[in-house]
Structure 1
Amino acid sequence: MNSMQQSIALGPLGFSIGQLLIVAAFCIALVVGALLGRRHRIPVVDTLLTLLLLALAGARLLFVVRHWSSYDGIASIVDIRDGGFDPLAGLMVGLAYALWIMWRHPLQRVPLAGALFAGTLTWGVLAGPLMLMETTARPLPDTPLASLDGAQTNLPSLAAKEGKPLVVNLWASWCPPCIREMPVFEQMQEEAEDITFVFVNQGEDTRQVERFLAEHSLELENVLLDARNTLGEVTGSMAMPTTLFYDADGQLNNTHFGELSRATLLSGIEKLR
């Protein structure tokens, strides 16, 4: 039985449903802010855009501070493709800025409050099913998989054998973000001995995968094949790369869509511990 879809792929780009819901909610806030601003003859769209930028900056800054040792320079800090954000920090920064604006500019209070209420309401209504899904226990799927030597296996069997939390990466050799994050996984596989890493290739055969590993000089354990992309369908993960974090009881703890950095991988592992 398929899981609710958690991500979508648009050509080479992948987006989580959660990200798209946030974009939709902010667009609603902009529309409502523009309409109320016109009625009250006070523009608030620029304020909303500034609020968004400050919230993103705050969320990124706190995440980087928390994982400072995992970043090796300015380039990696500003590379937000790894999805390293602290949502609570972003929320607090955005709320603080909105309250400050309302205090300093009373004329913006009604249109700005209306826009934020509309955006929050939109997000709440649309995200409800997603949040309900997140709170529902989702065990390891028993999708049939194959090792590179042709042996049949599945994730529950591997989890039972290892007796440790599983980090499952869905990838393909044609996916640039997958290629960029592989060295991070290779290094973490050596360091985190209390975690079992599994690399499930989507839709390619043994020859393609072995050629890819040799070309990039990668030494990875637990490389498995999912020739029909069944695992991605079952977990609702249609975009690659996707990384699934399962605890020692085999329950899904967290999902990361898109490229991982060392910091975001460590963040996911910390939640398993």
Structure 2
Amino acid sequence: MNTVSLGPLVLDGDRAAALVGIGLFLVAVEIADRVGGRRGTTAALGPHAWLLLAACIVAARAGFVAAHAESFAAAPRDALKVWQGGFSLAAGAVGGGVAALVLVRRSPRRALPLVASAALALGGTAAVSAALPDPRGALLPRVDATDLSGAPVEIGAAGGPLVLNLWAGWCPPCRREMPMMVAAAGMEDAPRFLFVNQGEDAGTVARFLASAGLPGRDVALDREARLMAALGAEGLPVTVFVDAAGRLHDTHTGEISRAALAAGMRRIVKDTE
């Protein structure tokens, strides 16, 4: 899967690429500041670079929230849950461009190092994205599991559209997102959902569901975590969107937002129409 593992921290590929880009941008600005300071040719970039970066991030988040206004209207506080992901590249570019124009007009000498730093950051982001494997288009692997009563469930046999959620009761982000996902599964015209527990027994899973007030339907047990291994997943939770042909349409590692879930559902349902 398109993830990056840093010790116990597992990042979705898009987030990892964005963090690399941000890091490269700040490093390049620091180098430009030091070189320009020695030569006396460049106004200090550091504080302005942070303002530029903040403008990009705020605009990117605002653009994503605006594009998924219906989902955020149902839960306005979700707009603050930035750890779930959800940023608009186009909106971020517009916000950053406006901020850069303002900064450059005040001091034209900042233009070249800022543009060069931004270009390096974009190049690094693109390189990381290109280097990560892209699971989209691969067939959903067939894995044998069971339901809570012990009856067999063959994952990957029925095709899609399907939303698979890999989770475990010990996983805090899994517990946070599951009530929202269960509610989404019950919506009219929703694709099929299957919540595939990784590594826990029926008793443990049943106790968790009862304590959380969640139903046991659409829950499968993968005691050996074979699905994680087959998908190359390095952490939980993982949400997999499967199209009508049984191929991976998209994947999301980490806690998923209501808006991202709704968008993924729409895409795989639309492909069947």
TM-score range, shorter chain: 0.7 to 0.9
Residue number in structure 2 paired with 1:70: 71
Q: Distance in 1 between matches of 2:71 and 2:123?
A: 36
The amino acid of 1:168's aligned partner reads L
Cα RMSD after superposing both structures? 2.2
Mapping of residues 20-59 of structure 1, within 5 Å: 20-41=16-37, 42-59=43-60
**Matched-pair contact (CA < 8 Å) for 1:146–1:225:** yes
Q: SS of 2:236's equivalent?
A: coil
Q: Which runs of 5+ in 1 are unaligned?
A: none
Q: Which runs of 5+ in 2 are unaligned?
A: 38-42
**Matched-pair contact (CA < 8 Å) for 2:185–2:193:** yes
% same residue: 31
Residue number in structure 2 paired with 1:191: 187
Match of 1:115 among 108, 114, 117: 117
Number of matched pairs: 263
Residue number in structure 1 paired with 2:40: none
TM-score by length of 2: 0.86
Q: SS of 2:213's equivalent?
A: coil
Q: Distance in 2 between matches of 1:178 and 1:135?
A: 22
The amino acid of 1:94's aligned partner reads G
Which moves more between the two structures, 139-148 or 65-74?
Answer: 65-74
The amino acid of 2:176's aligned partner reads R
**Matched-pair contact (CA < 8 Å) for 1:7–1:257:** no
Mapping of residues 1-273 of structure 1, within 5 Å: 4=1, 6-8=3-5, 10-11=7-8, 13-41=9-37, 42-71=43-72, 72=74, 74-130=76-132, 133-134=133-134, 137-159=137-159, 164-272=160-268, 273=270
TM-score by length of 1: 0.86
The amino acid of 2:120's aligned partner reads A
Q: SS of 2:227's equivalent?
A: helix
The amino acid of 2:23's aligned partner reads C
Q: Displacement of 1:153 after TM fit?
A: 3.0
Q: SS of 2:17's equivalent?
A: helix
Q: 1:217 to 1:192 in 2, by over 3 A?
A: same
The amino acid of 1:36's aligned partner reads A
Q: Distance in 1 between matches of 2:128 and 2:78?
A: 33
Q: SS of 1:207's equivalent?
A: helix
The amino acid of 1:165's aligned partner reads P
Q: SS of 1:248's equivalent?
A: coil
